[in-house]
């Protein structure tokens, strides 16, 4: 029996609430959750921890892991009768990064015959709030200076990205954000 695997990428800059929303969706929808930051190479983590912005070349191998690792988590958890979807966090700041994730799914379809879909929930929030949240993190490699570099390269999804939903979470309480995120994810075809 063949299954359709759906990967929901919770995207946006550091501090926008990706992890909180992804954990909520994982529980609400009984879907495995993959922390995208855990897929970075040790070299990338070191660079970011000392305040060096990643290049597109640094990100490429990481972006290629997003879909396959999420599908691996789905397969490890799913029974034949269960929905075959998973949730993963990934900044996906530029359109070309989202395109790389889409290409990874396409490659799995073409090379391995898997039915794979990718949908993006792109979260945004005021830069000052992002900075405040990142300042308050304990033990995370992402530093305050990196938020500004993320904002500089940020390309919000356009209307042509029909697999993407944009969610501005500025001024919203976590419970409201979670509810909006669930509605948004379930609205994606």
pLDDT, position 111: 93
Q: How far apart, in whole angstroms, are the C-alpha atoms of residue 102 and residue 123?
A: 18
Domain that holds residue 36: 4-187
CA 58 from centre of chain:
17
pTM of the model: 0.88
CATH number (domain holding residue 98): 3.40.50.300
CB–CB of 62/44 below 8 Å? Answer: yes
Quick: pLDDT tens for 62-98: 999 999 999 999 999 867 666 688 999 999 999 999 9
Per-residue pLDDT tens over the stretch 133-149:
666 555 555 555 667 77
Q: Is pLDDT at 189 greater than 60 in this prediction? A: yes
Give the pLDDT confidence of 30-42 residue by residue, as tens digits.
899 999 989 999 9
Quote the number of domains for the chain: 1
């Amino acid at each position: 029996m063949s299954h359709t695997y759906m990967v929901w990428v919770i995207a946006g800059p550091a501090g926008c609430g990706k992890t909180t929303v992804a954990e909520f969706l994982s529980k609400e929808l009984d879907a495995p959750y993959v922390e995208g930051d855990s897929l970075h190479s040790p070299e990338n983590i070191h660079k970011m921890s000392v305040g060096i912005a990643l290049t597109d070349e640094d990100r490429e191998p990481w972006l290629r892991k997003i879909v396959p690792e999420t599908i691996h988590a789905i397969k490890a958890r799913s029974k034949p009768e269960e929905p075959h979807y998973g949730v993963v966090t990934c900044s996906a700041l530029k359109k070309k990064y989202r395109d790389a994730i889409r290409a990874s799914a396409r490659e799995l379809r073409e090379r391995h015959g898997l039915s794979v879909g990718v949908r993006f929930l792109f979260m945004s929030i005021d830069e000052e709030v992002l900075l405040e949240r990142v300042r308050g993190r304990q033990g995370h490699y992402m530093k305050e200076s990196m938020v500004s570099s993320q904002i500089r390269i940020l390309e919000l999804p356009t209307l042509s990205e029909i697999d993407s939903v944009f969610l501005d979470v500025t001024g919203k309480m976590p419970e409201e954000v979670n509810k909006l995120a669930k509605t948004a994810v379930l609205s994606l075809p």
